[in-house]
Amino acid sequence: MPLALLALAVAAFGIGTTEFVIMGLLPDVARDLGVSIPDAGLLITGYALGVVFGAPILAIGTTNMPRRATLLGMTLMFILGNMLCALAPNYATLMAARVVTALCHGAFFGIGSVVAAGLVAPNKRAQAIAMMFTGLTLANVLGVPLGTALGQYAGWRSTFWAVSVIGVIAALAQWWWLPKNIAMDKANLASEFKVLGKVNVLLALGMSVLASTSLFSVFTYIAPILQDITGVSPHGVTLMLLLFGTGLTAGSMLGGRLADSRLLPSLVGMALAVVLVLAAFTQTSHSVIPAAITLVLWGTFAFALCPILQLLIIDQAHEAPNLGSTLNQSAFNLGNAAGAWIGGLVVASGADLADLPWTGALVSGLTVLAALFFIYRQRRAATALDLAG
């Protein structure tokens, strides 16, 4: 794998850290800025909405710009956004800074995935995408815990200064290692938007929404599940989440290898594996060791879907790969919000926390059905071509 992929992974690490570290710093932010915890929580919502709605606009606006310059520009936007977060004198400024950073998030991962896939041989594309996304998984394993600890020790603003430094390192790495003339196809707005009329593109995006919804309908409430059902201490929850993060990292690499060999069968297999693991979690959550094993397996299978779905959308939206890939990031973030909302409805209805994984299993089952329908359409189209020939 070329060093350019490492440069993209470093940026992904910084972006992933700044997205999720705010969750552990909410009480400190709320207290310092004089707002309530729910109001501080809207900083997470604002970030997600910035990815969902703003990133595609940025991707379209940079369609015909050189890829290296575009990625460097977005990294500079990321640095600026985090510096503004660190300097924000009030809540409104912090919210605006978070939205600016979110615009960079979706577009960087979308365009970066296309660039990563183009840097390697065709049979290594998914592995290249997985290499980039490894930065995102490591952000959850290392960046978020360390960033939270730093913020609690030296103030929440110090965390955003540290992430800004990571952004500078990522920018320098891209400047040194990204090829100066990355191949790109010229496009126009008409061709970019036309891809949204393709049923297979919409199916692929829908599967990304479902996969992310399945994950976050349970993961949003993993701490109370582990404490109230499994009986793990607050410090033990941190260790369990580190195990989950290990599964995420392994899953990213596994998904890359599987997607390069058998894309669609791997999609069905991983989504079905998530169904089975979450169904098992309704039972294994009652004991520490089985719960820990289940978390590792869940993280592995759930995140194996990320490079698989990312490569699928690049293939299906080949006329406008940058927009399609960026929209996939919007789809993932839409699933994040939907999953947290659905999980909250289930918990508010009085359902036992131990039964919450059934919700994620059901949604992942819908992903399996959507994938099978996608395969059916592909085979029917291939048959029609054979008959026409």
pLDDT digits (tens, 9 = 90+) for 203-249: 999 999 999 999 988 987 887 898 889 998 877 887 888 888 889 88
Class of domain 1-184: mainly alpha
Q: Which residue has the tokens 């930065």?
A: 135
- Ramachandran quadrant class, 36 (left: phi over 0; alpha: psi -120 to 50; beta: rest): beta
**Cα-Cα-Cα-Cα dihedral sign, residues 242, 44, 346, 333:** negative
Q: What is the mean pLDDT of the chain?
A: 88
State the pLDDT confidence band at 11, using cuts at 50, 70 and 90.
Answer: very high
Residues whose CB is less than 8 angstroms from the CB of residue 140 and which lie 6 or more positions away in sequence, other chains included: 16, 20, 245, 248
Lowest mean pLDDT among 129-133, 184-188, 294-298: 184-188
**What span, in angstroms and rounded, lies between the C-alpha atoms of 52 and 278?**
27
- DSSP class of residue 66? -
- Confidence at residue 363, expressed as pLDDT on a 0 to 100 scale: 97
Contacts with 236 (C-beta within 8 Å, 6 or more apart), sequence order = 226, 288
Instruction: Name the nearest CA neighbour of 211 among 329, 130, 124.
Output: 329
pLDDT of residue 186: 60
Which is nearest to 269 in space by CA: 146, 371, 378? Answer: 371
* pLDDT tens figures, 363-383: 999 999 999 999 999 888 888
CATH classification number, 189-389, choose in 3.30.360.10, 1.10.10.60, 1.10.3720.10, 1.20.1250.20:
1.20.1250.20
Query: What is the pLDDT at residue 270?
Result: 97
- Token duo for residue 193: 């938007």
The model carries a pTM of 0.81
CATH 1.20.1250.20 in the chain, residue ranges: 1-184, 189-389
- For the segment 112-143, what is each residue's pLDDT rounded down to a tens digit? 988 998 888 888 888 888 889 888 888 878 88
Render 214-248 in DSSP notation, one character per residue.
HHHHHHTTHHHIIIIII---HHHHHHHHHHHHHHH
pLDDT band at residue 36 under the 50/70/90 scheme: confident
Instruction: Name residue 88's amino acid.
Output: A
**382 token code pair:** 């291939």
Given a contact cutoff of 8 angstroms between Cβ atoms, the answer to whether 236 and 352 are in contact is no
